[in-house]
Amino acid sequence: MKRIKDFLFKNTSQKQTIFKNTFWLTASEGIVRLLKLGLIIYVARILGATEYGKFTFALAFIALFAIFFDLGISPIVARDIAKDRKKEKEFSSILSLKILLAMTGMTAVFIGSFFITSDPLIRKLIWVLGIYASSSSFASIIYAFLQARQRMEYQAWIVVFQTFLVTGAGFFVLFNFPSVRNLGFAYLFASLISLILLLLIFNFKFVRLKLSFNRTVWKNLLKTSWPLALAGMFGTVYNSIDSVMMGHWKQITQTGWYNASYKIIGITLVPMGLISQTFYPALSKFSKKSKENFQNIWNKQMEIMIVLAVPIMVGGITLAPKIIRLIYSESFLPATLSFQILLIMTGIVFLSAPLQQVLIVVNRQKKLFWITMTGAVINIILNILLIPTYSLNGAAIATLITYAIVFFLLIRFVFKFTSIRPVNLKFFSVLIIAILSSIPMYFAITYSKIYNLNVIFSVSIGTIIYFSFLFCIKNLKRVKLLMR
């Protein structure tokens, strides 16, 4: 028991630490996503697509102002403290800056709400969810510190606790006082309680909480983070502007359908986020120490991304109607095509994540800013052209095209401005193996007797077949190399 406890609660080596952090983040994200998905399913079913559309429209609008809550400082803090523990002395000044940013962001949300909608219900919902987003963003700076210390188990516990609160309060509201406004208050209540708990744990376990108004620290941090902040803003634009446009153009029901499919996409992106978080400290550590180790760690991250992205795209697109029907209901089937289009986008996001991360690690945030700005401009133009005619399907196409362009720009910039060689023999060999392994999976899940099973069984069978073939092909390759 002591060995298990040490393995899961202490940092003893680089490999063990990555595994420990992956374990805790995977466990927490799995619980969080399942609970949130269960809540969203009932929100959509009980309130209907139109009311759910109001809720997601409010969240999408707030997301456009997320830049003001953080200004890109959280990943910079995680990177800098991971490289130099002496930077922890500046954390009190960083906390005070976060408070000012939260107040600025909330003010922007409040003012903006009067311009985006004339519906008083949606406007008040925006205010409530704005406070929720502000408190959640404040927690991110504490999580950045924990990530730098590679003590992500604490982050995992708090996130799970918050999700239990959200889910419990959400179900209580849905079954007793069903309305989107009350649901917004449930989110806010859970966020504030979990933030208080996080601050107490941080204060007594890690660093005493105090505020320090050091303008030099603020200036240096913002000088480094502003390109990342603008990159995040533009990234948020092409993630959320489509929902905001549809809601503003009175396509509230379509917004509900579109975001229902996007919620499932969020589940598929969980592994990407976990992998990125666990590899980030290691990449930061070796970015200057060893080019060879830096490339090898990055290659491993990209290999995992490819292995996960291919079956998600192939299996998800094939089983899309069944997935929509199972999770929501027949009334949400109009979201099927947009869901399938967004699944292709998901594969591109998986492959883009390591490219974005390496630019941050080597302090090339300005390059990331130009890439995401290009993507945002393209996405806005495409949405204006496609949404009026094709509604949610047009929004999905615009998102897919945007991410494809951003992906190719990322490859070009990483190749030009870092020591990483993104498109190499390893990349293509893993991609080919993943594609070959997905072919028998596709034929299996399209076979009528398997396709007509409950979608959970179809997905499980497809997953087993894919990874079995993947294992066999990879080991066959090793055997051939040994025989030579």
Cβ atoms of 420 and 294 closer than 8 Å: yes
Per-residue pLDDT tens digits for 253-287: 999 999 888 888 988 887 888 788 778 777 877 77
**pLDDT tens across 126-177, in order?**
999 999 888 888 888 888 877 777 677 777 778 888 888 889 989 999 888 8
Mean pLDDT of 206-226: 82
Contacts of residue 49, defined as CB under 8 A and 6 or more positions apart, other chains included, come to 253, 256, 257, 260, 331, 332
Question: Which of 239, 227, 251, 425 lies closest to 342 in space, CA to CA?
Answer: 239
**Are the C-beta atoms of residues 22 and 155 closer than 8 Å to each other?**
no
Q: Categorize the per-residue pLDDT at 355 as very low, low, confident or very high, splitting at 50, 70 and 90.
A: very high
Mention every residue, 6+ apart, whose C-beta is less than 8 A from residue 427: 299, 302, 306
| pLDDT for position 347 | 95
